[in-house]
Structure formats: structure tokens, C-alpha cells
Amino acid sequence: MPVPFKRADRVAGLIQAELSHLLLRTVKDPRLHAVTITAVQVSADLRHARVLFTGSGEPAGMAQALAGLHSAAGFLRGHLGRTLHLRYAPELTFEADDSVERSLRVAALLKQVTAPEGEEGE
């Protein structure tokens, strides 16, 4: 029997889509031009949302993007509350998503471990 999605999962998807749209179309902060929302995790009571994002690859760019997101958090939260018709607009917490870098590092390690073509049959 399939497990139904929880409401928090559906709301997280809506928040991710709306934040992506806002960052692309509405927010004018130049620090946020390269920001991509990768995931949103919402608490069961829908009061807190953890937003994972990626930006430019360098640490200075990520720090600037995080500062830009913190400064725009009030605007984003208010817009989410009005657009999604939620009783409580969730408090947004932003965190840099390093999963892409980790996956690239694991792929490089796996590439080093694989045997050369001549040693596969032994």
C-alpha cells in the first residue's frame, strides 16, 4: 500500500517552487542572481522551513548569497504567507547545500579506486 505524502512535504514543495520564482523574477538583490533553491524541509507544524541553496562555487559568493537571503527573509516570508494562504508563514532558515561538492568528491574517489581496463578480468 503506498504511503501518502504528509502535508509538510506538499507545503515544502510549494515553498521551494515559490521561492525559486521569487528569486528569479521579483527579488532585485544582485547577491541572489546565482542562487538556486535545492531543497526545503518543513517542520510538522508548518512553522519552520529549512531552505537549502546553492550559489556560485566560491566561499565568498556563498557568504554573500547567505547574507542576501537573510536580508530578504522578511519579504520572502510575507510573500509566502500571502501567496500560499497559510495560517502561519513559516520562519525561514537558510543553509548552503554542499551535496553537489560532496557528490563530485565521491565520484572522484570512486574513479581513483576503479581498476585499469587491463586488470578487470583478474
In whole angstroms, give the CA distance from residue 55 to residue 35: 4
**What's the pLDDT at 48?**
96
| Structural domain for 85, as ranges | 7-116
Q: Considering the domain boundaries, does residue 67 fall inside one? A: yes
Number of structural domains, the chain? 1
- Helices 7-25 and 59-84, axial angle in degrees (round to 10): 110
Q: Considering the domain boundaries, does residue 2 fall inside one? A: no
- Residue 24 to residues 44, 84, 94, 98, Cα–Cα distance (Å): 28, 18, 17, 21
Residues 6+ apart with CB under 8 A from 23: 32, 35, 37
pLDDT tens series, the chain, 122 aa: 666 668 899 999 999 999 999 999 999 999 998 899 999 999 999 999 999 999 877 778 889 999 999 999 999 999 999 999 988 999 999 999 887 778 888 888 888 887 566 555 54
CATH number at residue 68: 3.30.300.20
